[in-house]
């Protein structure tokens, strides 16, 4: 290459693309994960923006992240634990439900944010190029801060009830990852659909509500007959929630076959979602 006067100014920075080939969109395309990796700094900044704005704009700020699951836990403990006498696998009901509410809130928040993420970032999408996958991924990751804050309450709760975690707690990050991936998998489908069909937005709240009762948050999955449990695992959140309880308290039965089904379900949804999103992103800028 010829040396330019501006050569010295050219930087190591940013995504260096020596050759860009622009071709018409042709159906299914590859995932271009290498390019996604090049844009990791943008991903970081979008996550950082979402977190920063979230805590700046709300009056209660960080308190929201704690209040939501704590209030849910209190209500669940009162109505399901105390009044309806829902069994809790021998764990104090507040701990039992809070262990489940943690991943549930992470999932519900990440799902809501990611479903709306592409439409919410319309201006970015119509004005600048970057791998569009960055948007829903950033939306999902931003939920982790709330999760970390809410987690601190659990530590207090476990101390109060004198529950000491066993070695199983080492597996917890895997379940956090699974919760995130579940939200991303579904979020990818919904965010891409939302661009074309804006009524998707209204279905997310409803979907989350139904999904909560289909997941073992307020009740243990042991209520489901043993042989049906793998089928129950088709709801990936069943595996996530039971996995959380098992990892944190260690007394509940390991999720086993149900978890295997959940993981496979998530992978299926995720890979499908990634390809579907990539296919749909060709028309984002035109339709949004």
Partner 1 sequence: MSDLVIRCEGIAKQYRLGERESYRALRDTLADAVTAPLRRLRAALHSANRRPSNGSATIWALKDVSLEIRQGEVVGIIGRNGAGKSTLLKILSRITKPSRGSADIYGRVGSLLEVGTGFHPELTGRENVFLNGAILGMSKAEVARKFDEIVAFAELEKFIDTPVKRYSSGMYMRLAFAVAAHLDPEIMLVDEVLAVGDVQFQKKCLGKMGEVSKQGRTVLFVSHSLSSIQSLCRRGILLEEGAIVCDGAVDAAIDRYLAKQPAAEFVAQPDARKPSITRAIAECSPSGVITVEMSFCSPFPLSPPVFGATITDAGGVIVYGTNTRFEYNDGVPLSMQSGEVRLVIDGEPLRSGTYHLSLWLADHFHDYVELANVLTVEVGRGIAEPLRPPRAAIGSVGLNTRWECYSRETSADLEPRAVGVGD
CB of 86 to partner 1, least distance (A): 36
- Residues constituting the chain: 288
If the CB atoms of residues 14 and 173 are measured against partner 1, the closer one turns out to be: 14
What the block records as the tokens of 285 is 């800028």
If the CB atoms of residues 19 and 227 are measured against partner 1, the closer one turns out to be: 19
Asked if 31 and 278 touch (Cβ cutoff 8 Å), the reply is: yes
CB of 147 to partner 1, least distance (A): 22
Asked if 235 and 229 touch (Cβ cutoff 8 Å), the reply is: no
Task: Give Cα 75 distance to the centre of its chain.
Answer: 24
CB of 6 to partner 1, least distance (A): 4
CB of 235 to partner 1, least distance (A): 23
Instruction: Report the alpha-carbon distance of residue 118 to residue 116 in Å, rounded.
Output: 6
Quick check: 227 binds partner 1 (CB under 8 A)? no
Q: Which distant-in-sequence residues (6+ apart) come within 8 Å of 93 by Cβ? A: 76, 77, 80, 81, 82, 86
Quick check: 118 binds partner 1 (CB under 8 A)? no
Quick check: 53 binds partner 1 (CB under 8 A)? yes
Stretch that binds partner 1, among 78-86, 118-126, 176-184, 268-276 (CB under 8 A): 118-126
CB of 202 to partner 1, least distance (A): 10
CB of 10 to partner 1, least distance (A): 7
Nearest 5 degrees, angle CA 40-CA 136-CA 281? 95
CB of 252 to partner 1, least distance (A): 40
Between the CA of residue 4 and those of 10, 17, 19, 144, 158, what are the distances in Å? 10, 17, 18, 45, 64
Give φ, ψ of 161 to 5 degrees: -90, 5
If the CB atoms of residues 126 and 166 are measured against partner 1, the closer one turns out to be: 126
Q: Which distant-in-sequence residues (6+ apart) come within 8 Å of 265 by Cβ? A: 233, 234, 235, 236
If the CB atoms of residues 4 and 34 are measured against partner 1, the closer one turns out to be: 4
The single residue listed with the structure tokens 């999760």 is 147
Binding-site string for partner 1 from residue 152 to residue 191, where x marks contact by CB under 8 A and - marks none: ----------------------------------------
Quick check: 1 binds partner 1 (CB under 8 A)? yes
Judged by CB under 8 A, the residue of 30, 57, 156, 167 near partner 1 is: 57
**Binding to partner 1 in span 4-33, by CB under 8 A:** 4-6, 9-25
Judged by CB under 8 A, the residue of 65, 188, 195, 259 near partner 1 is: 195
CB of 104 to partner 1, least distance (A): 27
Handedness of CA 120, 140, 105, 221 (dihedral sign): positive
Instruction: Report the alpha-carbon distance of residue 39 to residue 134 in Å, rounded.
Output: 8
CB-side neighbour CA atoms (13 Å) of 286: 5
What the block records as the tokens of 194 is 């939302």
Quick check: 123 binds partner 1 (CB under 8 A)? yes
If the CB atoms of residues 93 and 277 are measured against partner 1, the closer one turns out to be: 277
Footprint of partner 1 on this chain (CB under 8 A)?
1-2, 4-6, 9-25, 41-42, 44-46, 48-49, 52-53, 56-57, 123-130, 193, 195-200, 282, 285-288
């Amino acid at each position: 290459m010829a040396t330019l006067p501006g050569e010295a100014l050219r930087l190591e920075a940013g995504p260096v693309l020596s050759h860009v080939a622009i071709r018409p969109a042709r159906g299914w395309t590859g995932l271009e994960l290498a390019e996604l990796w090049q844009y990791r700094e943008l991903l970081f900044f979008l996550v950082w923006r979402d977190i920063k704005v979230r805590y700046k704009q709300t009056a209660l700020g960080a308190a929201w992240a704690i209040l939501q699951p704590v209030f849910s836990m209190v209500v669940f403990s009162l109505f399901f634990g105390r009044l309806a006498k829902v069994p809790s696998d021998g764990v104090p009901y507040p701990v039992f439900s809070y262990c489940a509410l943690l991943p549930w809130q992470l999932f519900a928040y990440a799902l809501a944010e990611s479903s709306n993420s592409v439409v919410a970032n319309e201006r970015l999408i119509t004005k600048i190029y970057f791998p569009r996958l960055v948007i829903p991924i950033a939306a999902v990751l931003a939920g982790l801060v709330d999760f970390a804050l809410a987690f601190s309450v659990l530590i207090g709760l476990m101390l109060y009830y004198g529950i000491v975690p066993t070695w199983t707690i080492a597996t917890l990050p895997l379940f956090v990852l699974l919760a995130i991936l579940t939200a991303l998998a579904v979020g990818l489908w919904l965010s891409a659909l939302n661009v074309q069909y804006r009524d998707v937005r209204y279905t997310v709240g409803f979907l989350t509500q139904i999904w909560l009762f289909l997941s073992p948050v307020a009740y243990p999955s042991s209520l489901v007959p043993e042989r049906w449990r793998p089928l129950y695992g088709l709801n990936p959140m069943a595996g996530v929630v039971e996995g959380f309880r098992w990892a944190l308290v260690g007394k509940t039965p390991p999720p086993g076959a149900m978890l295997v089904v959940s993981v496979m379900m998530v992978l299926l949804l995720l890979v499908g979602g990634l390809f579907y999103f990539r296919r749909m992103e060709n028309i984002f800028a035109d339709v949004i």
